[in-house]
């Protein structure tokens, strides 16, 4: 079973590369960003709380995310080829929860970290904002999201380095080039 955790700053290409990986390797794609946006779109009370956080560029509390991931893993089909975790974990506490949950179901994962220069991140998200209609794709919110990434998400690289399943990818290149780097890692690791 192939489980991949795809991490990186906002706009680093997690969603973009996850779609390529899911198509090529036949794994399921779990985007926590999409799950949260679907909850917002449902108009529920929970969705309103989530909207207030996301539109300002803040993270949703770890406990709320835990429920989403636990429910997902517990209901994985028996014949699943694996999952690409897109945007989860985003804090060290989420990383610990995911390790424990995977262990409970006898699963493992590798972590791929998309490294992209800050100017490029901002440029990509501003561009995406012109068509996405996302409230969090504007300059002030983007800057806030990048600051949160540095404070809360970046430390998880050390967590995975320590656990020996960390792989960095240069995400500054074209989508096709980034995907080539990712495929090399996946193909090498799945042979072992
Ligand atoms: P996400 O939906 O995960 O999205 P993202 O970080 O903004 O973008 P991503 O990295 O997927 O970039 P994309 O491929 O679209 O998160 C949104 C919000 O949800 C978070 O800020 C947070 O509030 C909340 N959230 C989600 N998960 C959470 C969790 N676990 N805990 C707490 N809160 C959580 O690429 C961006 C743009 O760049 C696209 O337009 C794309 O076309 C372009 N692009 C991508 N790769 C490119 C390349 N190589 N070259 C040129 N352009 C490229």
How do the domains of the chain map onto residue ranges? 2-28+82-191
The answer to whether residue 192 scores a pLDDT higher than 90 is no
Query: What's this model's pTM, rounded to 2 decimal places?
Result: 0.94
Task: Give the SS3 label for residue 81.
Answer: coil
Closest ligand 1 atom to 88 CA: 30
Distance 147 CA to ligand 1 centre (A): 15
What's the gap in Å between 95 CA and the centre of ligand 1?
A: 18
Helix (H) or strand (E) holding 3: strand 2-8
| Of residues 114, 147, 141, the one with CA closest to residue 128 | 141
| pLDDT per position as a tens digit, 37-91 | 999 999 999 999 999 999 999 999 999 999 999 999 999 998 999 999 999 999 9
64, 97 Cβ separation under 8 angstroms: no
pLDDT digits (tens, 9 = 90+) for 122-137: 999 999 999 998 889 9
Give me 126's structure tokens. Answer: 């501003």
Homologous superfamily, domain 2-28+82-191: P-loop containing nucleotide triphosphate hydrolases (3.40.50.300)
Share of residues in the chain with pLDDT > 70 (%): 100
Cα(173)–Cα(41) distance, rounded to whole angstroms?
A: 33
């Amino acid at each position: 079973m192939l489980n991949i955790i795809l991490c990186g700053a906002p706009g680093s290409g997690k969603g973009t590369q996850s779609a390529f990986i899911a198509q090529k390797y036949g794994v399921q794609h779990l985007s926590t960003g999409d799950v949260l946006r679907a909850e917002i779109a449902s108009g529920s009370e929970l969705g309103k709380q989530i909207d207030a956080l996301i539109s300002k560029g803040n993270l949703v509390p770890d406990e709320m995310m835990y429920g989403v991931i636990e429910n997902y893993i517990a209901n994985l089909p028996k014949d699943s080829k694996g999952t690409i975790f897109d945007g989860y974990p985003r804090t060290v506490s989420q990383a610990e929860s995911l390790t424990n949950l995977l262990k409970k179901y006898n699963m493992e994962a590798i972590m791929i970290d998309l490294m992209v220069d800050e100017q490029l991140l901002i440029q990509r998200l501003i561009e995406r904002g012109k068509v996405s209609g996302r409230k969090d794709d504007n300059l002030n919110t983007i800057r806030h999201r990048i600051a949160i990434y540095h404070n809360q998400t970046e430390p998880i690289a050390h967590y995975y380095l320590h656990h020996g399943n960390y792989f960095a990818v240069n995400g500054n290149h074209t989508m096709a080039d980034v995907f080539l780097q990712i495929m090399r890692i996946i193909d090498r690791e799945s042979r072992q």
